Amino acid sequence: MSDTALCAAARAECLPATRRPRLGFAGVGWIGLNRLQAVAADGAADIVCITDLSVDAAREAARAVADRAPYTFVSDSFEDLLAEDLDGVVIATPSGLHAQQAMAALGRGLAVFCQKPLGRTAHEVAQTIEMAQARDRLLAVDFCYRTVAGVTQLVELAHSGALGEIFAADLVFHNAYGPDKPWFYDLRQSGGGCVMDLGIHLVDLLLLVLDYPCVAAVSSSLHAAGKRLARPAAGSPAAGLEDHAFAEVRFANGATARIACSWRLSAGRDAIIEAAFYGTRGAAVLRNVGGSFYDFTVEHCKGTARQTLASGPDDWGGRAVRSWARQLAMNAAFDSSATCLYDVATLIDAIYER
């Protein structure tokens, strides 16, 4: 074994093969409960603690997984969670708490799986990544759309050169509804409007497929109730939260991407979700089916012909957290792929012009 491999092996702290990772869950709203149930059903980890600002919600979540986790501790305090004997934490609290709670957990030597966004700004994301690196702990964010069936093949087509040189991409996420939690509309708690809520998934897919090229320029237009939002002065808070956004991204390699997202758009269906990548030898497209938030098809296109790579139904919602839990069971050490979370955050900042 090389010196490099020996050093890597020495740094990596693996859990005993006979022990499943012990996890705590912070926040059990709709998504948090879904991720909790996904881990419980998978059986790759032990659920030790559940916390939520509503202790009643935490108790209800514990009852939902009682057949798999009968001895789960319940609390309304994140500090109580950190005091438990844990290997990792799954965070699904309001966005404004994510970086703070992730760094607190990492500082205690715990691995972290966090809902998006990891932080409200690139600065918060950078601080969290640095903490994960310093404590050599696994860190991941729930960019769940990259786990939809067929997306892996789409990425492989792009990276293998099968699509040729990708020169254009169009990505949209229009939601005919808006968030139902008040904190989404408080900038301090959310970090932004539809771009932070929906557009961040598009940015993640865009950079993943294009393999994180250098960004040359970004222009954007943000609207609230049909009126364009004024840009805040440097160091000042935003004038409001956007419910519609359009951005154009130009990369140093010459490729251009258009990103559009919205809340409460008259879309004629529940949602319009699409990510299309056009190359000199072909194209690849992810799109939702019939306005669904859950059913997707992925196609490889050449001229007028198209080949379906995958189509629903597909139980993809909890795939990312299950993968993280299984990885944690093998190795709790920092995964360098987490550094790409900063690329996503810096592009989001650029869209917001901050």
Mean pLDDT within 192-216: 98
* pLDDT attached to residue 16: 54
What does the pLDDT read at residue 80? 96
What are φ and ψ of residue 298, in 5° steps?
-125, 130
**pLDDT, tens only, 103-139:** 999 999 999 999 999 999 999 999 999 999 999 999 9
Residue type, 237: P
Cβ(99)–Cβ(341) below 8 Å: no
Instruction: Tell me what the mean pLDDT of segment 82-88 comes to.
Output: 97
Please give the pLDDT value at position 2.
33
Q: Are 257 and 171 in contact (CB under 8 A)?
A: yes
Mean pLDDT (the chain) is 93
pLDDT value at 4 more than 70: no
Is the pLDDT assigned to residue 150 strictly greater than 90?
yes
Looking at residue 19, its pLDDT comes to 73
Mean pLDDT, rounded, for 282-298: 97
Per-residue model confidence (pLDDT) at position 194: 98
The answer, yes or no, to whether residue 331 has pLDDT greater than 80, is: yes
Mean pLDDT, residues 210-215: 98
Please write down the long-range contacts of 176-181, taking CB distance under 8 Å and 24 or more positions apart: 176/264, 176/265, 176/266, 176/267, 176/269, 176/270, 176/271, 176/291, 177/263, 177/264, 177/270, 178/243, 178/263, 178/264, 179/263, 181/29, 181/94
pLDDT of residue 300: 98
- Average pLDDT of the residues in 198-202: 98
> How far apart are alpha carbons 169 and 256 in whole angstroms?
6
E strands in the chain? 22-26, 46-51, 73-75, 88-91, 111-114, 139-141, 166-175, 215-224, 227-228, 244-251, 256-263, 271-279, 283-288, 296-302, 305-311
What pTM, to 2 d.p., does this model score?
Answer: 0.93
Please tell me the predicted confidence (pLDDT) of residue 230: 85
What pLDDT, on the 0 to 100 scale, is given for residue 229?
Answer: 94
Q: What CA–CA distance (Å, rounded) separates 53 from 337?
A: 31
pLDDT range class, residue 354, cuts 50, 70, 90: confident
144, 116 contact by CB (below 8 A): no
Domains of the chain with bracketed CATH: 3-142+318-334 (3.40.50.720), 149-315 (3.30.360.10)
| Bridge partners of residue 279, in order along the sequence | 166
3 state SS of 281: coil
Range in 117-121, 149-153, 219-223, 238-242 with the lowest mean pLDDT: 238-242
Cα→Cα distances 275→79, 182, 286, 342, Å: 40, 29, 5, 21
| Residue 13: pLDDT band with limits 50, 70, 90 | very low
Residue 8 confidence (pLDDT): 33
Residue 259 scores a pLDDT above 60: yes
Mean pLDDT of 17-45: 92
Average pLDDT over residues 15-37: 88
Measured CA to CA, the distance from residue 341 to residue 118 in angstroms comes to: 8
What residue has token string 């501790």?
Answer: 73
Q: Span 64-84, mean pLDDT?
A: 96
Pairing of strands 166-175, 256-263: parallel
For residues 95 and 190, give the distance between their C-alpha atoms in angstroms, rounded to a whole number.
Answer: 5
